[in-house]
């Protein structure tokens, strides 16, 4: 049955089977992950994107809400070779259009060759190719989503208690839940702050670490977070993950750029420049740090394309990662990042510990 359509920038329309009805639009991207579909579908970094799964069967171990990274499905629509009924029902309940029974190998190949593209989705018994094209016509580039932070951030400060050893102020630009839990499990009290939090609010908290989260879109659209980094660099240890790394670099004189198709999957190899060790990582980003600036050193790079995966400054107490050390269901090669972050906090609180 053909009752679903994907209109892609450039003019052509793909056809498939509707698994969850509706219309949507967004940037067409793909992930190479073969597990962790629950985590991917609830990752706020996929906001305003249409997520294509390259692995052919999605949903073979059900849907469990304890694996969610946020309360909602985040992509605007989902494309797969085959979705199980469990996942299709979940997406239907969430109001997120989903399409399967198309050749995702062709979709992935086109995105790799042409880059991430705008697309329109129409799925359901009354859907037409014209509906999909109309959605495409209304689709904005990711850099034009200037208020994307408001869609994925908390609106009021929220406290998650550890055992009180450290106080972390987490700037929520679309934070995954597992970042918070990774810090809490290590004894930190985490105050999750809106993406547009002011320096006055952070100063009143007097945190041991200022942590900038992952999130969707262009780092240049997170000006308030950049201002926080610029205000507190050198005074409070600063950490960041994914979008957080890009925001930190931009705030400290670096430059970011959009990638052709980004890194999205659970098998991205990263090499540490000091030790030579290579670890496998989970990633989900369409922008990268092009130039780190004078204050930050590149300490880790992607084996495939040499893009920066880790930035550090001993003088400013800054530590960032482009990948997701906390990723569920893995790999967990780089979980020690959180120990290193809280090590910066320990160094700050130790003089007054007695």
45 is in an annotated binding site: yes
Residue 111 has φ and ψ, to the nearest 5°, of -65, -40
DSSP string, 116-176: SEEEEEEESTT--HHHHHHHHHTPPPGGG-TTHHHHHS-SS-EEE---SSEEEEEEESS--
Q: Is 243 annotated as belonging to a binding site?
A: yes
Confidence at 353, pLDDT banded by 50, 70, 90? very low
Reported as a single tens digit per residue, the pLDDT across 155-169 is 999 999 999 999 999
CA nearest neighbour of 283 among 254, 343, 255, 241: 241
User: What token pair was written down for 214?
Assistant: 């992952």
Q: For 241-250, how does the pLDDT look when each residue is reduced to its tens digit (9 = 90+)?
A: 999 999 999 9
- Residue 334 assigned to a binding site: no
Domain boundaries, the chain: 4-140, 148-352
State the pLDDT at residue 331. 66
Q: What pLDDT, in 10s, does the model give residues 166-209? A: 999 999 999 999 999 999 999 999 999 999 999 999 999 999 99
- Out of 1.20.59.10, 3.90.220.20, 3.40.50.880, 3.40.50.150, select the CATH number for domain 148-352: 3.40.50.880
Residue 286 is assigned to a ligand binding site: yes
CATH architecture of the domain with residue range 4-140: 3-Layer(bba) Sandwich (3.50)
Domains 4-140 and 148-352 are alike in CATH topology: no
Lowest-confidence segment of 35-44, 152-161, 327-336 by average pLDDT: 327-336
**Helix, strand, coil shares of the chain as percentages rounded to 5?**
30, 35, 35
Please classify residue 282 by burial: count the beta carbons closer than 10 Å to its beta carbon, then call 0-12 exposed, 13-18 middle and 19+ buried: buried
Q: Which residues does the annotation mark as catalytic?
A: 242, 324, 326
């Amino acid at each position: 049955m053909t009752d679903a359509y994907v209109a892609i920038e450039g003019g052509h329309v793909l056809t498939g089977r509707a698994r969850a009805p509706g219309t949507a639009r967004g940037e067409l991207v793909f992930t190479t992950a073969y597990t962790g579909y629950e985590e991917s579908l609830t990752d706020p970094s996929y906001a305003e994107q249409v997520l294509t799964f390259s692995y052919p069967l999605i949903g073979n171990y059900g849907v469990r809400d304890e694996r969610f990274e946020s309360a909602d499905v985040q992509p605007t629509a989902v494309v797969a070779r085959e979705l199980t009924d469990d996942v299709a029902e979940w997406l239907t309940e969430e109001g997120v259009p989903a399409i399967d029974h198309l050749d995702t190998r062709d979709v992935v190949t086109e995105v790799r060759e042409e880059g991430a593209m705008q697309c329109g989705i129409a799925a359901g018994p009354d859907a037409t190719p014209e509906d999909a094209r109309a959605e495409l016509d209304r689709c904005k580039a990711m850099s034009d989503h200037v208020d994307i932070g408001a869609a994925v951030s908390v609106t009021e400060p929220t406290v998650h208690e550890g055992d009180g050893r450290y106080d972390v102020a987490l700037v929520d630009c679309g934070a995954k839940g597992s970042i918070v839990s990774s810090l809490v499990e290590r004894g930190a009290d985490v105050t999750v702050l809106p993406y547009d939090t002011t320096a006055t609010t952070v100063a009143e908290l007097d945190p041991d670490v200022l942590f900038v989260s992952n999130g969707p879109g262009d780092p240049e659209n997170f000006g308030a977070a950049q201002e926080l980094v610029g205000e507190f660099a050198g005074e409070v240890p600063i950490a960041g993950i994914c979008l957080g790394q890009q925001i930190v670099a931009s705030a400290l004189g670096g430059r970011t750029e959009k990638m052709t198709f980004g890194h999205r999957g659970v098998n991205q190899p990263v090499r540490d420049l000091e030790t030579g060790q290579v670890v496998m990582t989970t990633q989900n980003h369409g922008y990268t740090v092009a130039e780190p600036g004078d204050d930050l050193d590149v300490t880790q790079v992607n084996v495939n394309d040499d893009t920066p995966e880790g930035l550090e400054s001993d003088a400013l107490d800054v530590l960032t990662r482009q990948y997701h050390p906390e990723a569920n269901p893995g790999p967990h090669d780089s979980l020690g990042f959180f120990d290193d972050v809280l090590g910066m906090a320990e160094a700050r609180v130790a003089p007054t510990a007695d």
